[in-house]
Structure 1
Amino acid sequence: MELRISRRALIGIGVAGVLTASSLALLRAETGAASSHREAPMIAGDPRNDNTDVYAFVSPDRPDTVTLMANFIPFEEPNGGPNFYRFDAGSRYNIKIDSDGDAQPDTVYQWTFRDEDRRGTDTFLYDNGPVTSLNDKNLLFRQRYTVKKITHRGTRTLVKDGVVAPSNTGPASMPDYGSLRTQSIKNLPGGGKAFAGQADEAFFADLRVFDLLYGGDLSEVGQDTLRGYNVHSLALQVPKNEVALKGDADRNPVIGVWSTVDKWSPKGYVQVSRLGQPLVNEVVVPAGLKDAFNALPPHKDADVPAVVKRVTNPEVPKLLEAIYGLRAPKTPRADLVEIFLTGIAKANGPIKADLNSQSLNKDAGRLRPAEMLRLNMAVAPAANPNRLGVIAGDLQGFPNGRRLGDDVIDIALQAMAGAAQSGELVDALAAGDKVDRNDKPFGTRFPYIPLPGNTSVNAS
């Protein structure tokens, strides 16, 4: 597969995808924070089913595998007891993979949960003594989970009665939380791993972007709004062939990834949350369509003219022109259609590079335009990952999948200024939001996301 891309093409690839995901940010501050936190009116009132971020990347320490992650429950305050955080036992959480480009899931990994609550009428405590193992009698509330793999060939149970890593209630209750994390990781048949539990909020950004783009003069930067918060995370590490078309990652290395949540209702399970690329539902989809988008399957995306129009004629460049005097790029934005709906390939549109469209798979059929996070698993992990991903020449980074350290906000700033069409970075925005990394370092082993904190967000 050809992966030689010019510097100009790198800039176009890297920034265009995030502009797609940034076209309504300034006008939708009431919907919540960036990435996909509280992005739609209905899901804002249902945080346990609110998917905040999706990640997909070739595992840096096991490059024969791919790591898939979906995070939930935005803005978990570590000291938010006595009822700490948990997954919804009435929902099905899914990570879905399209390997042939028809926008239909070929592989689904599905988590379900059940509660074990021993508190009864005796106590309000989550734990009544130091917790040194997941089966410790002092842990009065725990969740167990099942993971199933669903394909066209049927359903297989990969994990039964796994234990969720609990909420981190503090150093007295959980003196060695790292050991609880280690105990919660389950080995999968065929050499993979699974994890479910609380983790640090890995998304980093200064969300004062909603105050007229950092105060209208870039003066409001440098504050990581997400610092100190936790999330609940689901993660898998599986061999590449497990998710590749026809089980052959050499011939068919590109996959599309998204996450959904199906919530139980009197009418059965109903999809209430959906997330692929970061920022999409918050800032691409208009307010009146946000709830509908959360219920929409990807194969119907191209049939919604109101959503496609937000890609071809994005709003933020016009706002940048009004606020900062930066001329908005000409429309329609065919390059954004390629990144947002089809993946990047020379045959798909104006970006003359082959990177992450399923049409590059040798056994793929007809491509169906759809929004999802696309990853070319043939691109090896970078020895020194660059936070700006593809725009900086690091082809494994966003928008070719998404790693924990990819700085989607700074890439978006460049996209807003039109770098996707000009092929040149905008010097005036080079500093970005001055939040360049997470406050905690990422791990070197699965599940990579940092341990959850136990210090109150307002402590400092």
Structure 2
Amino acid sequence: MRSAQSDPYRRLLSAASLGISAMCLATLAPAPSTASSHREAPLIASTPSLDNTDLYAFVSPDASDTVTVVANWQPFEEPNGGPNFYPFAENTAHDINIDNNGDAKPDVIYRWMFRTTYRNPNTFLYNTGQVTSLGDPDLNIRQFYTLQRITPSGTKSILRTAQVAPSFTGEASMPNYGWLSNQAVTSAGADTRSFAGQSDDAFFADLRVFDLLYGGDLSKVGHDTLKGYNVNTIALQVPKSDLALKGNATRNPVVGIWTTTSRVGASMRGKPGAMQQVSRLGMPLVNEVVIPLGKKNEFNATKPTDDGKFAPYVTNPEVPKLIQALYKIPAPATPRTDLVEVFLTGVCEACGPVKANLNSQQLNKDVAKKSFVPSEQLRLNMAVPPADNPNRLGVVGGDLAGFPNGRRLADDVIDVTLQAAEGILLPNPPAAVKTLGDGVDSNNVGFRHSFPYVALPNQASVNQN
């Protein structure tokens, strides 16, 4: 546990005076420090290449007329996991879904589909010599992808044979991996860029929380369990107008975003051979600790239009009760209607008990409010400019460009969510709530300053770290 640098509640009042309430931090995820969506459901844990682990969305700090979305797959990639390393799954749709009118249906879908090729199938080697470029003949295993933009008016292929940055096999094989990774940044139209490749896992957290919430001993916090692991990353940078309702980001700045993984031949629902959704991610921590074990697979296969059936797990969350039992911090009274507002509707004065405007699609001027459907999404108000001095605590730290108004790579979603879930936004919260945190305040490596922003993948074995 660490001391609060200042009173979070005062910071919330300050933000509210700007008309964009920091009370939005009462997110769906009433959870202690835990991974965002790593191995969160029984079925997806057995198929890690299909597991979408984290979603980030933010106004690009060096191109503020664009939005960057980063989505990760395949958790806990040990850097030296040869000889096959970590390809993206084939026959699989990796989708970023955009809802700009609040009807819980995607208005724009960006879809990546991958295929794998081998220069020499008669060797076990991923690369047969030193690789100095994506076109190097010594790069034996290569992946390519198509990128489609899907809207109700049709499907457009905006990339057809873009190449994936290879897994980092080591310095002997790839002495300038940063150059290889940057080569995989591909133009997909005016002010639109795509990237697919391996990166350091940007999420930082102490996962020992699953040991009975540290067994009642918070002196154990502070170990970044994800340090040293990699993930497979898809990143997209597009003009705000490409996402906004009617293409007008000034009148309609709020969008909702979620990622899905759909597999050909999956059998969770529907006919064999059909494309079936097997994983889903919007706000961090939802399926991990809010949805009960018996409903996790169902949540992963559910469309946002059906999210109302999960509301009871939000209004009566489990984790605050566990914390009360172990640490004697009183759980906030239920039902948690404040969490329902942020989870299902976004924050706006007309949405529910949190009387402030931040990131509900109902704030868009051209929305048909009668068609609005509550659903779980990561919502971003694109009108909020990037912060000159980002605060890891996002809105609760007085930084309105941060989580949960979207999510940046360096946002400390664990500390923010834990304090909010334990009542920091309610009148007279217990003093202990203001000091809660997992003791992990930043990623173990720095991020890139330009697209795709994610850090290069780690090479050292995790057991060496």
- Considering the TM-score relative to the shorter chain, is it more than 0.5? yes
CA distance in 1, matches of 2:454, 2:158: 22
Q: Cα distance, 1:355 vs. partner? A: 0.2
Q: Is the 8 A contact 1:276 1:371 kept in 2?
A: yes
* Contact in 2 for aligned 1:148/1:157 (Cα 8 Å): yes
Identity %: 57
Residues 1:236 and 2:236 aligned together: yes
Does the 8 Å contact 1:131/1:139 carry over to 2? yes
Distance 1:7 1:13 in 2: 13
Q: Separation in 1 of the partners of 2:200 and 2:173? A: 18
Aligned partners of 1:111 and 1:148 also within 8 Å: yes
Letter in structure 2 aligned against 1:292: E
- Quick one: which amino acid aligns to residue 83 of structure 1? N
Q: Where in structure 2 are there 5+ consecutive unaligned residues?
A: 1-13, 266-271
Preserved CA contact (<8 Å) 2:419 2:433: no
Counterpart Cα distance in 1 of 2:20 and 2:118: 55
Matched with 1:249 is 249
Instruction: Pick one of 404, 410, 414 that aligns with 1:405.
Output: 410
Deviations 1:380-435 (A, max 9, x none): 00001111111111111111111101111111221342113237584465261111
Indicate if the aligned counterparts of 1:97 and 1:255 stay in contact, CA closer than 8 A.
Answer: yes
In the TM superposition, 1:48-197 aligns within 5 A as 48-121=49-122, 123-197=123-197
Q: CA deviation at 1:277?
A: 0.4
Matched residue type, 2:298 = A
Mapped contact 2:254–2:359 kept (Cα < 8 A): yes
Secondary structure of the residue aligned to 1:420 is coil
1:8, 1:423 within 8 Å by CA — same for their partners in 2? Answer: no
Q: 1:271 aligns with which of 269, 274, 277?
A: 277
**What are the equivalent positions in structure 2 for 1:272-351 lying under 5 Å apart?**
272-302=278-308, 304=309, 307-351=310-354
Q: What is the DSSP-based 3-state SS (H/G/I as helix, E as strand, rest coil) of the residue aligned with 2:388?
A: coil
Contact 1:230–1:452 (CA under 8 A) maintained in structure 2: yes
Q: Secondary structure at the match of 1:458?
A: coil
Whole-Å Cα distance in 2 between the matches of residues 119 and 293 of structure 1?
A: 41
CA 1:435–1:425 in 2, change beyond 3 Å: closer, same or farther?
farther
**Letter matched to residue 256 of structure 1:** G
Report the Cα distance in structure 2 between the residues aligned to 1:426 and 1:255, rounded to whole angstroms.
Answer: 35
Aligned-partner Cα distance in 2 for 1:402–1:149:
23
Rounded Cα–Cα distance in structure 2 between residues aligned with 1:102 and 1:327: 36
> Which of 387, 395, 398 is the matching residue for 1:393?
398
Rounded Cα–Cα distance in structure 2 between residues aligned with 1:287 and 1:249? 39
Over residues 247-299 of structure 1, what are the superposed CA-to-partner deviations in whole Å (9 max), with x where a residue is unaligned? Answer: 00000000000000110103311100100000111111111111111111101
Relative to the length of structure 1, the TM-score reads: 0.93
Moved more, 324-333 or 93-102: 324-333
2:217 match: secondary structure: helix
Q: Which residue of 2 aligns with 1:384?
A: 389
Distance 1:216 1:402 in 2: 30
Report the equivalent of 1:29: none
Partner residue, 1:30 = none
- Which residue of the partner structure matches residue 371 of structure 1? 376
Q: Does structure 2 conserve the Cα–Cα contact (< 8 Å) formed by 1:98 and 1:256? A: yes
Q: Which residue matches 2:7?
A: none
Structure 2 CA distance for aligned equivalents of residues 298 and 267 of structure 1: 23
CA distance 1:93–1:428, change in 2 (3 Å): closer
**CA distance, structure 1, for counterparts of residue 429 and residue 19 of structure 2:** 7
In structure 2, what is the equivalent of residue 446 of structure 1? 451
CA deviations 1:318-341 (Å, max 9, x no partner) are: 112111111111111111011000
Give the direction of change, closer, same or farther, for the CA distance of 1:417–1:444 in structure 2 (3 Å limit).
same
C-alpha distance in 1, partners of 2:206/2:427?
Answer: 26
**3-state SS of paired residue (1:246):** helix
How many pairs does the alignment contain? 444
Q: 1:254, 1:358 within 8 Å by CA — same for their partners in 2?
A: yes
2:257 and 2:377 in contact (8 A); partners too: yes
Question: Does 2:190 align with 1:203?
Answer: no
User: Does the CA contact (< 8 Å) of 1:39 and 1:281 recur in 2?
Assistant: yes
Q: CA–CA distance in 1 between the matches of 2:429 and 2:69? A: 32
- Deviations along 1:110-132, one digit per CA (max 9) or x if unpaired, are 000110123322x2111111100
Hey, what's the Cα distance between the residues in 1 that align with 2:285 and 2:347?
19
The residue that corresponds to 1:358 in the other structure is 361
Q: Does residue 22 of structure 2 align to residue 21 of structure 1? A: no
Q: Is the 8 A contact 1:263 1:271 kept in 2?
A: yes
Structure 1 distance, partners of 2:386, 2:19, is 22
Is this contact kept in 1: 2:347–2:358, CA < 8 A?
yes
Counterparts in 2 of 1:10 and 1:214: CA distance versus 1, 3 Å: farther
Supply the distance in 2 between the matched residues of 1:4 and 1:208 (Cα, whole angstroms): 33
Give the superposed CA RMSD: 1.8
Q: 1:444, CA displacement in angstroms?
A: 1.1
Q: Which amino acid aligns with 1:351?
A: V
Q: Name the aligned partner's letter for residue 445 of structure 2.
A: K
Aligned partners of 1:300 and 1:370 also within 8 Å: yes
Q: CA deviation digits over 1:136-191, x for unaligned, max 9? A: 01110010001000011211111111110000000000000011111100012122
Partner residue, 1:458: 463
Q: Whole-Å Cα distance in 2 between the matches of residues 79 and 343 of structure 1?
A: 41
What is the deviation of 1:94?
0.2
Residue identity matched to 1:227: K
When residues 9 and 313 of structure 1 are mapped into structure 2, their CA distance, relative to the original with a 3 A threshold, is farther
Match of 1:216 in 2: 216
Structure 2 CA distance for partners of 1:90 and 1:110, relative to 1, 3 Å: same
Name the CA shift for 1:425/1:97 in 2 (closer, same or farther; >3 Å).
farther
Q: Supply the AA of the counterpart residue of 1:62.
A: A
* TM-score when normalising by structure 2: 0.92
Counterpart-to-counterpart distance in 1, 2:290 and 2:319 = 10
Task: Indicate the residue corresponding to 1:414 in structure 2.
Answer: 419
> What letter matches 1:45 in structure 2?
S
Residue type of the alignment partner of 1:402: R
For 2:76, the aligned partner's letter is F
